[in-house]
Amino acid sequence: MKKNIKYITGTALIAGILCGSLGCKKEFLKPEPLSFYEPNETYVDAAAMKAALYACARNMRIEFYGGNPPILTEMLFSETSVEGTTDKSGPAQDLNLVITPDLAGFEDDDHNKIYTYWREGYAAIKYANTVISRINNATYASQAERNAILGAAYFHRAYRYYKLTNQFGDVPAIFREITAPQLEFYSTKREVILKQIKLDLDSAFGWCSDNVNRGEVTKGAVGHLLTKVNLALGNFDDAITSANAVINGGVYSLMKTPFGPAAPPYYFPAGSTKPVSLPNNVIWSLHRPENKSVAENKEGLFMIIDRFGDGQFGTGMTIMRQAVAFWGSNVNAPSGKKGTYDNLTAELVQSNYYGRGIGRSRPTNYSQYEIWTDPNDLRHAKGNWMNMEDLLYNDPGLKSSNDVNYLKNLQLRNASGGLLTTDTIRSWFGWPHYKIFVDDNENSPKQGGHSDWYLFRLAETYLLRAEAYYWKGDLQKAADDINAVRTRAGCAPIIAAQVDMGMILDERARELFFEEGRKSELTRISFLFAKTGKVAETGKTYTLDKISDDNYFYDRIIARNNFYKNKIVTNHGDKYTISPFHILWPIPTRAINGNIEGKYKQNKGYTGYDPTLQSLDIIP
Amino acid sequence: MGKSTRGVWLSPLFNLFLIVFSTLFSTVVNANNLPPHTVSGVIKDTKNEPLAGVSVLVKGSTNGTTTNGEGKFTLADVPDNGTLVISFTGYASQEIAVKGKSEFLVSMELTTLNLDEVVVTGYGTRTKKDVTGAIAQVKVTQLENENPPSVQDALRGNVPGIVVTASATAKGGGNLQIRGKNSISGVSSPLIVLDGVIYQGDLSDINPNDINTIDILKDASSAAVYGAKAASGVVLVTTKKGTGSKPSIGFNSNIGLATLAMDEPLYDGPGFVHWRSDVLKSQNITTAKPYQYDDPRQLPSNITTAQWLAYDNSSPTADPVDIWLTRLKLLPIERENYKKDKQTNWYDMMFQTGVRNDHTASISGRKQDVSYYMSANYNHNQGYLVGDQFTTYRIRINLEAKAAKYLTAGLNLQYADRDESQVPVTWGQMVNASPYGEVYKADGVTLRDSPNDDVGNNLNPFLDNVYTNRLRKFNTLFGSIYLKGQLPWGFSYQTNFTPNFEFYRNFNGTSAKDFRVSARKGVASRQNRTTFNWQIDQLLMWNKTFGQHRFDATFLFNSEKWQQWDETMTNEGFDPNDNLSYHNIGAGIKPVITNNDQVSTGDALMARLNYSFQDRYLLTASIRRDGYSAFGLKNPRANAPSVAVGWVMTQEKFLENIPFLNYAKLRFSWGVNGNRDIPGNLARYGALSDLTTGKYQLITPSGQIVLVSQLYVNRLQNADLKWERTTSFNGGLDFSILKSRISGSFDAYRKSTKNLLVTRVLPDVTGFTSVLFNIGEVRNQGAELSLSSINITKPNFTWRSIATLTVNRNKIIHLYGATNDYDATGKVIGKSEKDDPSNRWFIGHDIDAIWDLKVLGVWQQNEITEAAKYGVRPGDFKLQDVNNDGKFSDADRQFLGFRNPRFMWSLRNEFTFMKNFDFSFLIYSSWGMSEEFNQAKNNGGFIDRQNSYKVPYWTPENPINDYARLFSSNGSAGFSTYRKTSFIRLSTMALAYTVPASFLGRAKIQNLKVYVNVNNLAVYQPEWNWWDAEFRVNPPTDRNIIPPPRYYTLGVNLTL
């Protein structure tokens, strides 16, 4: 019996070992993904390809949304704006000091977003390349469907390269999907990349359709971008052709009368805690969140969509926080007491109507005074445009002390002419309320909630075509296109003799605030002056070989931007400066460091610039 | 071997069946008992004092007992020809042949070296004298006066070579690291083995009261039995078993207090106003007018109030104090309270004296063929932070039944209910909160959104605590069912089946009353996660002695599967209201559902041989082959061989006559270990490419919003991913001198880790920031010394000391391999291996080397022009411009120190006096490491809108060189400032009183002890003066400082 037990347990043990040993089989160790999609098995049909395009579309939002959105970095390298946060070290004010390859890598809200453009640009290029490289691996209902998808991917890729080449100049050209680790990259010449994306867009223009959902790539958007690329290449006739196709295509037109469900503009008369309505107007209704993507709106060429709900984009744009003055602080009543209050516990919660601004984007004298020459300009009309004097003193402390100024309009100076604000940079300026006001149901106090945004709008197509005519010397046609935009806003037309590049840029500043990437456009134009040798309104001509030393970009900014021009000093002691070499941004150190085996061309003016290093003449 | 993959699933069930079946079957034929023979005796020390708690065990069996308070024991079922093994911690063990006797009088001698101590070596145990590797043991039962509240606390400072990070939360704990960081970005925490099986649960689910010993396998040879999983060392936790023939009922009760160990004061009201005026002066350095920011009631005679008011055009009739406070940016509530001198002491409101309770009841013993240990524990800790608490209920059942002479079946079961629902106050906000701000709105009950109504800058520290409704609970069940028995010819076997469950609920509701979500009408989420993994171990052992040759072989087969199902739903916009919080998640209007399921599998084969000749020459050799699915695309398996030798020198003739040398053993080992732990979400699928999904919105031509899915490649595939591999050498000496009054171990090692699992940075133009890669080589080398001594043994006084010293140096040997070098024309001129500055990894330097711009001091008044060249001014930090180009870039960065200690030491002293009193204290120290100290810049946050710690700052009148001016400028540089964080800590101090047996008399109490202890009593940090640098939120991932705690505990230990 005893022996039997031994054998029984012994046999059982061996059986157990054998049984357990089934785990030795290789199948057992095969990784098994459960909750994520695998690329090769997924990108096999039109639905998955479109999902890749939606990743491109969503990526577009990054430029305009969140704390210190990247568009502000584009704006502060121009005549229109500067960085207005005056209470810390870090913001891009003293550009000569802080725009270095090292600091360009700091992406927090207290620095600049140069690196964000770089990284997110190449991220979106990756998304687009996935579609382009795999386009023939998937099945489609028709060749047209395939082509429309490929065309949309070309558009997304081209848009990013258009931005990158006008921000950084020569950049690495990645035009295929990368599926294995690669550590060696080189810069390709700006013009080579621009030529390639022109080819791509030419194809895409034939393939894409306007009969798509808002948020998807339209034929109009392709034509608009193609116009920009044609301009950048100096192909002015092509630019006119592509712009014509958009303007005369029958799908898009400038909005000329008020429309849509949005409520009309309003203002607060002194003493009132209730807003008073003003007559509606086309500019107001064109930029209301409710109206941007409605069917009757024919002006939007490409829309970035952001609505409340699961769009996975946090708690809205926070655009009011960026572009509205920091009016809740540093503003005293004539009595010397604190005058304004941007929190919720006041009798008049003014931040519900204008938002709580922190004045990060500070307009220059150029953009808040000098360009507003036409008294009938709707873009600067009461209710559409806010001046500080339109706000009321609402601090509860004034009410409780029966201060005479309570609910009176703000004033910059007291009776004896003394300033009543301690920080005129950050806390005292005007802003285009019609564009910046985005109601907010998620943040309190309101910072700017969800809203669709125009990436491309037909008004800009007119101004691009005007530019093409200007380069060709056809000033009358240029004036006609500028006037199309001007007269819609209620302004008097200009005459051909008034047209120069400065006039076109002025109109862009009036029309495209917080829409255009101003720095990219100025850089593009400056390259064109250098390339064509055309005499600019500055009276100067420029050359490509000196582009980082002497250029239109700098001359224009230093003439118009009073902060950089006068080297204004903030309360914190930081000086506003800019230099000609800022026409191109530095490639951030953190981007360079990852490229261990290759080499990028650093731009002139920055640490690491090597004049002997040549960029590639090809797309590798 | 097998063909069907379904067999994988069958195997655990089949094993369970096997265990149950064999147990039942064997019980029927249990018929091999010896005739009963009961022995008894008294055990005393050399001073003739009776010793309580001495273990008496029949050799080769589990039949044993312990002595009572009078040193007496009785043991039944002792065979006539048997041997009694008598052992007691700190005393030399003895073996006494029974030879038919039934009365014993034993005298035990105190020693620092007990060669018969059993050490757990992984898949078995060995006596200390047979060990060839570097193994350290902590006898947790010996620490009972200190009542370590967690496994980590039992290890901290008690073993050389192991670093245990400090924890300041009510939960406690910390992270473990053995012999340095050998993985660059992989996980460096050791493998935990609980009662012989690999444990993947939370250490806090193990009740320290249940622990008997903790063994740490430090060298590769010892750890090699855990093979490819053991590169970061192995910690083996062994829980208690029943021994005495009478049931032993134990109670351990602790009541304690948690307090703040150190203060880091903030400015009070007047101090705040004075500091704020300095802030404004520094901020407006270019525009400030004389005395503009100073108290108008104390103007110098040459400035009139009217002039002063005119500075900012204030009305001549205005109240100057009002104007002044407005200039200082004080908000209405602050100005009002300044005038009333009504202050709020935020600091005191953040911290409390927390009450800690830890109570364990246990019953253990053995009856005939069944031994049992059962315990139940309740642990409720409040932290020193208001709102921080931790509650857990833990149950353990250890059962072992001898089913037949050749068959034993057992069960170790651990259940824990862990509640981590705490929502502490946001103490960090106390710095932002103005002392003239207020907690409540005018109604006196509703929380103010912001203490001074400046929500853009600072929030009420109580918002989270009050408005978050949280349920965060873990229920874990860890069991190990085993079967072991004897086979003929010296063979024995063991089968373990180990299921492990974790059920996790994380429910959160943020009330709409919280202004941050009021517009969203409340936000709630529910996360449910179930984790289940099982393991099977099949072990075959062989143990045979041929004359002077002893053999001991072990063979293992192991397989495991880990599965997790995780789902989260969130919602907001609750209608009609969010009063039901997360209990009615469907009532919201913005539902988002996400989930993440994962699976991984692994297996292993292992063989080990221990051989000894004349108990003098020792050899251990082992090999293990591991498989893991995360590397399953190409390289699922890895081998881990090892060999170790030991030589007991003192057994040699030529050393026998050295009088002071009692014992010496030389050890040498070589071995390979692996690591498969990949951090974060790459853990199981890092080798695979994945597509990230998300949502985007489109608007149809008719105006409808449609939700579409976006999809993009988020991760680059790396099919070549494989195990990280560490090869180590270890040389060691165990010794005992001066009649074993002093004994110790010395170990020196060199570990080289290759194929490091690295999230390697890729050129970002690829669209990928990094890829998981095997690359490079890291070397750790170091030495450890452990010394025990008996300093004094007098009848009424003994004093023992234990000291440890740890030194580890770490170096990156290789990173990415050699790449081409080019000259200016682009011609290849050679090859060299490049550093990785983006990750701050440099060949030839420590992984944690600090590489940054060097702060030379502060620019002083007379250097104003020099400072201006760098865009800064006096009071800002002066940095070294190494290449003198007037700019700051990587070219100016240099090596400034290390984040890891250069060396660590600890010293434990234990005293016994007046027979019944025990006193002990532990000091430990880490030396030579540095940490960021950006408080010295005085420019963090919006200091013109908040309060501050009392940190020194530069002013023209106070031209210091180590702190910058308020609101200093960083100029064009991105840099941190650093300070040394070396410290010496008086960690624990404990005093215990054992009630003499004579007092207990006939109360049927075996043992009664009362103790008090204090944890984290004092610290000396010569160069760091901001809180306590050792206490971090969650190192290494979150290195933010958290205030240090101190614990006071009163405990009682009662055995019936």
* Contact residues for A190 (Cβ-Cβ < 8 A; gap 6+): A165, A169, A170, A171, A527
Q: What is the ipTM of this complex?
A: 0.92
Task: Please report the pLDDT score of residue B164 as a whole number.
Answer: 81
Distances (CA, A) of B448 to B350, B437, B456: 16, 9, 13
Task: Please report the pLDDT score of residue B248 as a whole number.
Answer: 86
Top residue of A42, A310, A602 to mutate, by most chain B CBs within 10 Å, is: A310
Interchain contact, B765 vs A20, CB within 8 Å: no
| Interface membership of A411 toward B (CB under 8 Å) | no
* Residue of chain B whose alpha carbon sits nearest to that of A51: B710
pLDDT at B415 over 80: yes
Interchain contact, B515 vs A444, CB within 8 Å: yes
Task: Please report the pLDDT score of residue A18 as a whole number.
Answer: 47
pLDDT at B4 over 60: no
| Interface membership of A13 toward B (CB under 8 Å) | yes
Which of the residues in chain A have pLDDT under 70?
Answer: 1-26
pLDDT mean over B441-463? 90
pLDDT tens for A53-62 read 999 999 999 9
pLDDT tens for B771-817 read 888 888 999 999 999 998 989 888 788 898 999 999 999 999 998 88
Q: What is the dihedral of CA B970, B973, B979, B981, to 10 degrees?
A: 120
Interchain contact, B764 vs A122, CB within 8 Å: yes
What percent of chain B is helix, strand and coil (3-state, nearest 5)? Answer: 15, 45, 40
Query: Per residue, what are the HEC states of A525-556?
Result: HHHHHHHHCCCCCCCCCCCHHHCCCCCHHHHH
Q: Would you tell me how many other CB atoms lie within 10 Å of the CB of residue B89?
A: 12
Task: Please report the pLDDT score of residue B615 as a whole number.
Answer: 84
Task: Please report the pLDDT score of residue B495 as a whole number.
Answer: 93
* Residue of chain B whose alpha carbon sits nearest to that of A94: B871
Interchain contact, B766 vs A182, CB within 8 Å: yes
**Run of H or E residues at A487:** helix A475-488
Residues of A in Cβ contact (< 8 Å) with B700: 213-214
* Contact residues for B576 (Cβ-Cβ < 8 A; gap 6+): none
Identify the CA nearest to B725 among candidates B678, B672, B684: B672
* Residue of chain B whose alpha carbon sits nearest to that of A298: B701
- Nearest by CB: A593 against B14, B701, B838: B838
**B140, B239 in Cβ contact below 8 A?**
no
* Angstrom distance (rounded) from CA B815 to CA B775: 6
Task: Please report the pLDDT score of residue B62 as a whole number.
Answer: 67
**Pairing label, strands B191-194, B234-239:** parallel
Interchain contact, B313 vs A598, CB within 8 Å: no
* Residue of chain A whose alpha carbon sits nearest to that of B762: A594
pLDDT at B16 over 70: no
Residue B488, classified by CB atoms within 10 Å of its CB into exposed (0-12), middle (13-18) or buried (19+), is exposed
Task: Please report the pLDDT score of residue B7 as a whole number.
Answer: 38
- Nearest by CB: A34 against B598, B689, B836: B598
* Angstrom distance (rounded) from CA B769 to CA B399: 52
* Residue of chain A whose alpha carbon sits nearest to that of B523: A442
Interface contacts (A, B; CB < 8 Å): 418
- Nearest by CB: A9 against B284, B407, B837: B407
Identify the CA nearest to B481 among candidates B467, B496, B494: B496
Residues of A in Cβ contact (< 8 Å) with B488: 6
| Interface membership of A106 toward B (CB under 8 Å) | yes
* Residue of chain B whose alpha carbon sits nearest to that of A119: B764
Residues of B in Cβ contact (< 8 Å) with A94: 871
Q: State percent of chain A over pLDDT 90.
A: 77
pLDDT tens for B747-775 read 999 999 898 888 788 899 999 988 888 88
Is the Cα torsion angle B824, B828, B830, B834 positive or negative in sign? positive
Interchain contact, A338 vs B825, CB within 8 Å: no
Residues of A in Cβ contact (< 8 Å) with B627: 24, 28-29
Identify the CA nearest to B1049 among candidates B262, B212, B358, B352: B358
Q: State percent of chain B over pLDDT 90.
A: 48
Query: Per residue, what are the HEC states of B381-437?
Result: EECCECCCEEEEEEEEEEEEEEEECCEEEEEEEEEEEEECCCCCCCHHHHCCCCCCC
Q: Which amino acid makes up residue B760?
A: R
Q: Which amino acid makes up residue B916?
A: N
User: Which of 462-501 (A) contact B at CB < 8 A?
Assistant: none
Residues of A in Cβ contact (< 8 Å) with B318: 335-337
Task: Please report the pLDDT score of residue B58 as a whole number.
Answer: 81
Is the Cα torsion angle B1020, B1023, B1025, B1031 positive or negative in sign? negative
Interchain contact, A594 vs B838, CB within 8 Å: yes
Top residue of B460, B592, B766 to mutate, by most chain A CBs within 10 Å, is: B766
* Angstrom distance (rounded) from CA B832 to CA B821: 7
Task: Please report the pLDDT score of residue B1014 as a whole number.
Answer: 93
Interchain contact, B629 vs A29, CB within 8 Å: yes
Interchain contact, B711 vs A38, CB within 8 Å: no
pLDDT band at B27 (very low <50, low <70, confident <90, very high): very low
Q: Would you tell me how many other CB atoms lie within 10 Å of the CB of residue B866?
A: 13
| Interface membership of A10 toward B (CB under 8 Å) | yes
pLDDT mean over B275-293? 89
Top residue of A11, A19, A211, A440 to mutate, by most chain B CBs within 10 Å, is: A19
| Sequential DSSP letters for B741-759 | TEEEEEEEEEEEEEEEEEE
pLDDT tens for B606-615 read 999 999 998 8
pLDDT tens for B549-605 read 999 999 999 999 999 999 999 999 999 999 999 999 999 988 888 899 999 999 999
- Nearest by CB: A596 against B8, B599, B816: B816
**B342, B244 in Cβ contact below 8 A?**
no
* Angstrom distance (rounded) from CA A63 to CA A113: 9
Interchain contact, A334 vs B315, CB within 8 Å: yes
Distances (CA, A) of A130 to A177, A336, A477, B776: 5, 61, 42, 31
Residue B304, classified by CB atoms within 10 Å of its CB into exposed (0-12), middle (13-18) or buried (19+), is exposed
Task: Please report the pLDDT score of residue A416 as a whole number.
Answer: 76
Top residue of B713, B887, B942 to mutate, by most chain A CBs within 10 Å, is: B713
β-partners of residue A145 are none
* Angstrom distance (rounded) from CA B742 to CA B733: 14
pLDDT tens for B348-404 read 999 999 999 999 999 998 887 899 999 999 999 999 999 999 999 999 999 999 888
Task: Please report the pLDDT score of residue A536 as a whole number.
Answer: 95
**B139, B118 in Cβ contact below 8 A?**
no
Interchain contact, A17 vs B691, CB within 8 Å: no
Coil vs helix vs strand at A522: helix
**Run of H or E residues at A382:** none
Coil vs helix vs strand at B910: strand
* Angstrom distance (rounded) from CA A366 to CA B842: 49
Interchain contact, A126 vs B488, CB within 8 Å: no
Supply angle C-alpha A441, A442, A448, rounded to 5: 75
Interchain contact, B540 vs A572, CB within 8 Å: no
pLDDT mean over B77-81? 80
Global confidence as pTM? 0.81
Coil vs helix vs strand at A424: helix
* Angstrom distance (rounded) from CA B849 to CA B609: 41
pLDDT band at B2 (very low <50, low <70, confident <90, very high): very low
Least confident of A516-525, B86-95, B244-253, B311-320: B86-95
Task: Please report the pLDDT score of residue B752 as a whole number.
Answer: 92
